[in-house]
């Protein structure tokens, strides 16, 4: 394992719970959310400008939508948003009810279907699920979860990676690109909870060599894992709680990471004042392009 280059702050956003970065190739801009800040953000790396679009409830994940606007996972369900981030249509209500559940991490599959999971807020019941949304509607892919996270696909689109953060575990499944079905789940890697300060796997992305980049929540770093789950490198982040990574830039060699500040100890925030910011670093191996959500998929 090597100690790799560190991330630097590109936007001192002071987000409460920055999450869900996704690169728009068409716009050459990064969309990202502040879950507890109830905002969809658009960051333009060319100018450094960031535009926050307020939402009426928590937004856990977002993806550009083919034809315009977005699909987003909110507390109440999966919604179509217009180009200004305004909810216009509820595509699928949150089947778990809104009292102790919200949508969390999401990602489009290579065909443009949208996979998104929920978070069981008491973190006790394992009532969270991973869902697939496509033209046939909402379908359960996995259940018994605490925090559905870490969604990413292998370069050939035939392996799905998925984390359940509080269990410190990332699993991988065979993925059928023709139907969006999963099978043959197995542990990809599990971090040691006893090493509490080394964090737990949150949001993720896969690069062109099939390596899995994982934001390690409360670990203050992003780690790169080989296609067989071996730890290759670790990259410090000037925030204790990185939440999700995404590749961007004209060559997909800029790795962005969002971070959290809400609920963090005062001394930690004093030591890491850019917590809640958006960070980036240049990588050698480019990321994989993530397609927009396609309502016809």
Ligand X SMILES: O=C1O[C@H](CS(=O)(=O)O)[C@@H](O)[C@H](O)[C@H]1O
Q: What is the CB-side half-sphere exposure of residue 149 using CA atoms within 13 A? A: 27
Distance between CA atoms of residues 259 and 279, nearest Å: 8
Is residue 264 at the binding interface for ligand X, with CB under 6 A as the rule? no
Phi, then psi, of 290 in degrees rounded to 5 = -100, 120
Which of 96/105 has CB closer to ligand X?
105
Residue with smaller CB distance to ligand X, 119 or 290 = 119
> Nearest-5° angle of CA 274, CA 280, CA 285?
155
Query: 274 — phi, psi (to 5°)?
Result: -90, 10
The encoded tokens of residue 170 equal 């990332």
Site for ligand X in 44-103 (CB under 6 A): none
Report the site for ligand X in 182-201 (rule: CB under 6 A).
200
Pick the catalytic residue: 164, 202, 207, 294? Answer: 202
* Cα distance between residue 93 and residue 151, in whole Å: 21
Binding ligand X by CB under 6 A: which of 76, 94, 118, 243? 243
Residue 117's nearest CA partner among 202, 177, 42 is 202
Q: Which of 69, 166, 277, 291 binds ligand X (CB under 6 A)?
A: 166
Residue 146 or 297 having the CB closest to ligand X? 146
Nearest-angstrom CA–CA distance, 275 and 279: 10
Residue 173 engages ligand X in binding (rule: CB under 6 A): no
Using an 8 Å Cβ cutoff, are 41 and 32 in contact?
Answer: yes
Q: Which of 19, 58, 109, 294 binds ligand X (CB under 6 A)?
A: 19
Q: Does 171 bind ligand X (CB under 6 A)?
A: no
Under rule CB under 6 A, residue 165 binds ligand X: yes
Q: Does 254 bind ligand X (CB under 6 A)?
A: no
Report the residue from 70, 131, 217, 279 that binds ligand X according to the rule CB under 6 A: 217
Question: Residue 125 has what DSSP assignment?
Answer: S
Determine the Cα angle at 109 with ends 107 and 115, to 5°.
45
Could you say which of 147, 159, 214, 261 contacts ligand X (CB under 6 A)? Answer: 147
202 in catalytic set: yes
Give the one residue of 34, 109, 134, 202 binding ligand X; rule: CB under 6 A.
202
Enter the DSSP assignment of 21: E
* 80, 149, 169, 275: which one binds ligand X (CB under 6 A): 149
Nearer to ligand X, 81 or 191 (CB): 191
* 36 or 253: CB nearest ligand X: 36
Residues of this chain that interact with ligand X (CB under 6 A) are 17, 19, 35, 104-105, 119, 147, 149, 165-166, 200, 202, 217, 243
Annotated active-site positions, please? 202
């Amino acid at each position: 394992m090597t100690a790799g280059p560190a991330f630097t702050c590109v936007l001192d956003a002071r987000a409460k719970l920055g999450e869900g970065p996704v690169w728009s190739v068409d716009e050459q801009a990064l969309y990202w959310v502040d879950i507890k800040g109830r905002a969809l953000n658009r960051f333009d790396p060319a100018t450094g400008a960031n535009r926050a679009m307020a939402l009426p409830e928590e937004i856990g994940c977002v993806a550009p939508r083919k034809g315009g606007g977005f699909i987003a996972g909110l507390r109440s369900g999966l919604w179509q948003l217009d180009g200004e981030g305004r909810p216009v249509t509820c595509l699928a209500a949150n089947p778990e009810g809104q009292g102790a559940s919200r949508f969390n991490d999401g990602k489009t599959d290579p065909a443009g279907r949208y996979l998104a999971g929920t978070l069981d807020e008491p973190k006790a019941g394992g009532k969270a699920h991973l869902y697939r949304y496509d033209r046939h509607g909402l379908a359960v892919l996995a259940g018994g979860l605490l925090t559905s996270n870490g969604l990413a696909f292998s370069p050939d689109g035939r392996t799905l990676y998925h984390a359940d953060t509080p269990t410190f575990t990332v699993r991988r499944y065979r993925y059928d690109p023709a139907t969006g079905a999963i099978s043959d789940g197995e542990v990809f890697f599990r971090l040691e909870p006893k090493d509490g300060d080394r964090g737990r796997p949150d949001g993720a992305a896969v690069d062109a060599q099939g390596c899995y980049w994982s934001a390690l929540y409360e670990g203050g770093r992003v780690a790169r894992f080989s296609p067989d789950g071996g730890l290759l490198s670790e990259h410090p982040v000037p925030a204790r709680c990185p939440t999700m990574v995404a590749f961007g830039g004209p060559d997909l060699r800029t790795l962005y990471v969002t971070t959290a500040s809400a609920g963090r100890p005062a001394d930690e925030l004093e030591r890491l004042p850019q917590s809640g910011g958006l960070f980036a670093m240049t990588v050698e191996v480019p990321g994989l392009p993530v397609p927009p959500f396609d309502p016809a998929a």
